Structure 1
Amino acid sequence: MWSKIVKNRVSIRFWSSLVPDEPEGPCVLTDVPGPCSKKLKKDLGKMQYAGAVKVFGNYQKSIGNYLVDADDNVLLDMYAQISTLALGYNHPELLKVFQDEKNLKTMINRPALGVFPGEDQPKRVHSVVSQIAPCLPKINLMMCGACANEQTFKNVFIAYQRKKRGKKDFTDEEKHTAVINQPPGAPNLCILSFAGAFHGRTTGALATTHTKFIHKIDFPSLDWPVAHFPLYKYPLGEHERENAVEDKKSLAQVEDLIATYNKKDTPVAGVIVEPIQSEGGNNEASPKYFQELQKIVKKNNAYLVFDEVQTGGGGTGKFWCHEYFDLATPPDVVTFSKKFCLGGYFHSDELTPDKPFRVFNTWMGDPGKVIMLETIIRVMREQDLLDNVQEAGARLKCGLFELEEEFSEIMNSVRGPGTFLAFNIVKPELRDTVLQKLLQKGVLCGGCGDLGIRFRPALIFQKHHAEIVLDKLREVLNELNC
């Protein structure tokens, strides 16, 4: 399998890996993207817009932490399909899943779960909820993270209006005006979000997304409030006073915006926040900040939604990132996707719709992906992957601190828990150069914000992979320092 890829090496040695037959390290045979990827991009571009395509993957050869592209370049994947791969490529346990005929039939028949779920669906869902639920009793499955956030807003609005309406049924006026998008049936409610947030690209979710203009320009949107999110200075221990000011500034603005929108007769029904802003720059906030935010939301009879689409599933070293915050009570909603293979959200009893079809679509998730998720959870437990993330992340972060000290004129602000790490490069154009140079050396990373480089490896990323990343990054920084 690997003979062509490793033919130029002096020796072939395999590390003790969590996935059998992982290669020793990256191996770049062409420019990245290479001629095959460029041709495929041109071919695809004749049928659909392909401007965002970086490389084409060979998913037959890709394995573990390594993405093999169409030109047989072996890339150590620190981005993991935008943080989606829990167990890396072609994990042997996942390859077994659909060799089972019952599982295969579950996948290919793909029932409309909201109306015709399979007889094993209660058992499957209970298996997931009982093992990973963040102290919330209910789950709703969807297809992706944007869908999960979009539908969550409906649950929030339903619960908010139900509190206001009490036990009364819908009035005839509400029924009529709802259909034509007018109050009182379509009430003036809003969701508060934060500058730098990314929550998806469907209409409601996009109204709470505030990163790149290209996601939003030309699209009509909603007049919903946007609060400042704390922007910390690093190292954290040297900037406690400034960062505390950032917390207070953000929390004060949240309170002011809730009051302002209440006066406009557009109450804030919910607040959505990422435990760590991902696309926006890997921006963190302190446990104390989130504790105070929860108090403000509760005081104003709104609901707190944690968007754990990217942070959930173990990359931070805990299954749920908000576990770091020591909240007084669980959040009202926790949304997920990415490493879970499908989308969805856990929520409190209070947010359960009281009538059918209020939160609904044809598939309501995918039972085949639930089977995959069961396997992922099992492997995480059997291989102690949360501990592995902590250990590998500690080595990677320590090495990044060392590079930050050595190359302080180029990089700074190392941050993040587990392997959910990032650092800044001093200028946007130089950041892009670093990303490209790393890619040419066989390390695939992602950008975030204007200056950030983020790491999102699979849970099977180990300390020896961290050494490879640090060596390649050092090479790039040395080249730039010349």
Structure 2
Amino acid sequence: MLRKGFATLLEKKFLVTSAQYSKKLSISSPLEPEGPSIKTTVPGPKTKKLLKELSALQQADSVQLFADYDKSIGNYFVDADGNTFLDAFTQISSVPLGYNHPELLTTFDDKHNLRELINRPALGVFPAQNWPDRLKNVLMSVAPNGVNGIATMMCGSCSNENAYKTVMMWYRNKQRGGNVDFTPEELATCMLNQQPGSPNLSILSFKGGFHGRTFGALSTTRSKPIHKLDCPAFDWPVAPFPRYKYPLDQHVSENQQEDAKCLEQVADVIEKYNKNGNPVAGVIVEPIQSEGGDHEASPEFFQKLQKICQSKGVALIIDEVQTGCGPTGKMWCYEHFNLPCPPDVVTFSKKMLTGGFYFNTEFRPPQAYRVFNTWMGDPGKLILLERVLKVIKSQNLLNVVNETGKTLKDGLLELEKEFPHLINSVRGRGTFLSFNAPTTDCRDKINADLKKNGILSGTCGEIAIRLRPALIFQPKHAGIYLDILRKTLKNVN
């Protein structure tokens, strides 16, 4: 009855036919429950016991719930206590097709795939004979237009780390006039962490940006102090990222001025660091600042940022670790910006299942072992990603993301009108959405109460709640989310 009733509601409000709705049902598992089911307190007694056991072994204060991954299915996460949650956060935006997707469950039934999984090679030295085809047919099949190189890595942080190295090597290669030979002085001084072998070079990042927790990436992460405290950092520049007023259509002039102010400071900071002997080799930016608060910027901002980078001889790195692989309704979020040419480097991980970065071949270091580690990714992840990309294409999941995103965003805007004292600044693209609460305490209460009511969502920045559902999240799931959010807001004191 719930499913049929919601289908009728969709037909009336969003002009979706019953046939279209039935087709959408096949996208997620038919074994999915009708909705969330909470049987215990959250967290429940089993979860508390497991947390105590884990805390005796490692720092576990970040753990929210323990999962039963045998029972989790589609868009639903089942915890150790048997509670079933509609998951709108999906392992921090990392699960493209939900839990236990049938196309992925059979992946390693194939003996060849299984052997690739267990004989994990050092890809930079002993790749399998099919590795060139894997790269070409999987990763390059969804490469940003106009980009022709790929480096595979393990995670988002190491993807950004190695992107920085690649950009700095490219920058120094330009300074040498393309000469690939190093001087004896360079070879000797780099071993002492001194110039000229270890030059002063920097990567510009933005206030509120998050690019990882490893050492180099940490110098560009500007989202929360807890990420950086007690760790030495490079003297690398930071510039302001736009902070818009909402609704966007009512604050066009103010937001254009915000763009101009931020871009002016980007150009000024690059000049300052160049003059101070710590030149900027690259600029890294998220299409939507995720961890830092889901701050977005206009296509015009990104177009002008790219122009500044080109005029200064600086590489533009787009960090698509969280936004890549479809959640904004396009394969890559930067595609919304209509850039006149592709970014110099695009990093990825999370929903792509493996890490890495795309680049043009002019950025490839001419010597071996310069961008290298033992594994350089995992062929098993590409085997899974190949199936994920097949499902995205065969089930038109980018269209599903856009349709569901409209349902979600329209519903959030209605709730914003109903509860203006509790939520504001609804924003985002596709299902990559968020809204603000008036204070951190209020935000945290809403998020905690959502969990108690059967919804897993995430927070970011100081006052934002973010949505990061799987690509198979449909309008019916959006309806459940919105109903429970409304119930939650009605009971916030």
Give the structure-1-normalised TM-score: 0.96
Match of 2:99 among 78, 89, 99: 89
Local SS of the residue matching 2:491 = helix
Distance across 1 between alignment mates of 2:380 and 2:191: 35
| Equivalent AA in structure 1 for residue 331 of structure 2 | F
Aligned counterpart, 1:27: 37
Q: How does 1:159-238 map to 2 (within 5 A)?
A: 159-168=170-179, 169-238=181-250
Does residue 1:289 correspond to 2:311, yes or no? no
What are the residue-to-residue correspondences of 1:71-110 with 2, within 5 Å?
Answer: 71-110=81-120
Aligned to 2:342: 330
**CA RMSD after TM alignment:** 1.0
Q: Which residue of 1 aligns with 2:377?
A: 365
How far apart are the structure 1 equivalents of 2:198 and 2:488?
A: 55
Q: Which amino acid aligns with 2:155?
A: C
In structure 1, give the amino acid aligned to 2:356. Answer: G
Distance in 1, matches of 2:114 and 2:250, equals 55
Map residues 374-413 of structure 1 onto 2, 5 A cutoff: 374-413=386-425
Structure-2 residue corresponding to 1:157: 168
1:480 paired residue number: 492
1:16 to 21, 25, 39: 25
Aligned to 1:123: 133
Q: Percent identity?
A: 56
Shift of 1:24: 0.5
* 2:121 partner amino acid: P
In 2, distance between residues paired with 1:33 and 1:347? 44
What is the CA distance between 1:139 and its match in structure 2? 0.5
Size of the aligned set, in residue pairs, is: 468
Cα separation, 1, equivalents of 2:85 and 2:109: 28
Residue in structure 2 matching 1:141, options 124, 144, 152: 152
Q: 2:140, 2:150 within 8 Å by CA — same for their partners in 1?
A: no
Q: Find the counterpart in structure 1 of residue 333 from structure 2.
A: 321
User: Is 1:265 matched up with 2:274?
Assistant: no
> Matched residues in 1 for 2:110 and 2:60: separation?
36
Name 1:5's counterpart in structure 2.
none
Query: How far did 1:20 drift?
Result: 2.6
Q: Report the alpha carbon displacement of residue 17 of structure 1 after superposing the two structures with TM.
A: 4.4
Match of 2:16 in 1: none
* Per-residue CA distance 1:38-63 (angstroms, 9 max, x = gap): 10011011111111000000000000
Secondary structure of the equivalent of 1:218? Answer: coil
Unmatched 5+ stretches in structure 2: 1-21
The CA deviation at 1:334 is: 0.3
Structure 1, unaligned runs of 5 or more: 1-13
CA offsets per residue over residues 351-394 of structure 1, 9 Å max, x none? 11100000000000000001001000000001100000000110
> 2:56 aligns to what?
46
Distance (Å, rounded) in 1 between the aligned partners of 2:139 and 2:480: 37
> Aligned equivalents of 1:225 and 1:276: distance in 2?
20
Letter in 2 for 1:425: A
Q: Could you tell me which amino acid in structure 2 is paired with residue 422 of structure 1?
A: S
For residues 141-186 of structure 1, what are the alpha-carbon distances to aligned partners after superposition, in whole Å with 9 as ceiling and x for unaligned? 0000000000000100010000110143110000000111101000
Q: How does 1:302-317 map to 2 (within 5 A)?
A: 302-317=314-329
| Secondary structure of residue in 2 paired with 1:369 | helix
Name the SS of the counterpart of 2:262 in structure 1.
helix
**2: CA distance, partners of 1:101 / 1:42:** 40
Q: Aligned partners of 1:130, 1:280: CA distance in 2, in Å?
A: 30
Q: Give TM-score, length-normalised by structure 2.
A: 0.94
Mapped partners of 1:129, 1:51: distance in 2: 36
1:477, distance to aligned residue in structure 2 (A): 1.0
Instruction: Point out 4+ residue stretches in structure 1 off by more than 4 angstroms.
Output: none
**Structure 1 equivalent of residue 431 of structure 2:** 419
Which amino acid counterpart does residue 65 of structure 2 have in structure 1?
A: V
The letter for the 1-side match of 2:357 is: Y
CA distance in 2, matches of 1:178, 1:165: 16
Q: Distance in 1 between matches of 2:482 and 2:139?
A: 38
Question: How far has the Cα of 1:129 moved from its partner?
Answer: 3.4
C-alpha distance in 1, partners of 2:235/2:458? Answer: 31
- In the TM superposition, residue 254 of structure 1 has moved relative to its aligned partner by 0.4
Task: Verify the 8 A CA contact 2:160 2:347 in the aligned structure 1.
Answer: yes
Matched residue of 1:191: which SS? strand
Decide whether the 8 Å contact of 2:329 with 2:431 is kept in 1: yes
Structure-1 residue corresponding to 2:353? 341
One-letter amino acid of the structure 1 residue matched with residue 25 of structure 2: S
3-state DSSP of counterpart to 1:269 = strand
Equivalent residues of 2:39, 2:82 under 8 A apart: yes
Render the CA deviation track for 1:108-136: whole Å, top value 9, x for unaligned: 11000000001111111111234200021
Q: Is the 8 A contact 2:293 2:462 kept in 1?
A: yes
